Amino acid sequence: MKHEVKMLARILVLLTASLGAGQEALAHHSFAMFDKSKFITISGTVRKIEWANPHAYLQVQVPGSNGTSTLYAIECSSPNELSRWGWKFNSVKVGDQISVGIYPLRNGQPGGLLFSVTLANGTVLKGN
């Protein structure tokens, strides 16, 4: 059942990504530092939430090989827009295990622009 929920979440994200052509996003600044041609999914532990304007951020510790881990800085939309999409300031908490779909930074640093968050219970929150 949990697996099915995760699959459904992924399908929803893909569907969402394929719809809505012709609409403008509401970025408060350019997102050109992120690579829109790449979409990756990473999983890890939330270390920090910055419910800030113009855009919120998640810091996610992503485990790597040999016991190492990398801290990703993930830019979300504005608190106003996130709220429209069902977020609350405490929807994602420090210590939560989450999976995030991001457009990574073009300069190779660990970070990206959030597309969506999947919480441990399968809830999907749109991030941009």
Partner 1 sequence: MKRYGLRNLHLRGGIVATLILAASSGIAAPVDFSGVWERYPPLHNPALTPEAIFAEGAPMPGAKPRLREPFATQYEALEKKSAAAEESGQPLADAGIRCLPSGVPAMMTAILPLEIVQRRDELLILAEELAEIRRIYINEKMPPAGEIAPSYHGYSVAHWEGATLVIQTQGIREDVRFLDMPHSADMRVTERLRLTAPDMLEEQGTLEDPAVLVAPYRFTFKYKRNSTYKVAEYVCDDNHYDVNGTGSVIFHSEPKR
Q: Which residues bind partner 1 (CB under 8 A)?
A: 16-36, 39, 50, 52-57, 71-73, 75, 78-81, 83-85, 103, 105-107, 109-111, 113, 115, 126, 128
Whose Cβ is closer to partner 1: residue 1's or residue 30's?
Answer: 30
Beta bridge partners of 70: 62
How many Cβ atoms sit within 10 Å of the Cβ of residue 112? 25
Rounded-to-integer distance, Cα 60 and Cα 16, Å: 23
Whose Cβ is closer to partner 1: residue 80's or residue 97's?
Answer: 80
Least distance in angstroms from the C-beta of 1 to partner 1: 26
Whose Cβ is closer to partner 1: residue 1's or residue 108's?
Answer: 108
Rounded-to-integer distance, Cα 62 and Cα 54, Å: 25
Quick one: which of 106, 47, 36, 107 has its CA closest to 72?
47
Least distance in angstroms from the C-beta of 75 to partner 1: 7
Least distance in angstroms from the C-beta of 60 to partner 1: 11
Least distance in angstroms from the C-beta of 22 to partner 1: 8
| Cβ atoms of 128 and 25 closer than 8 Å | yes
Quick one: which of 99, 98, 128, 93 has its CA closest to 114?
128
Whose Cβ is closer to partner 1: residue 87's or residue 98's?
Answer: 87
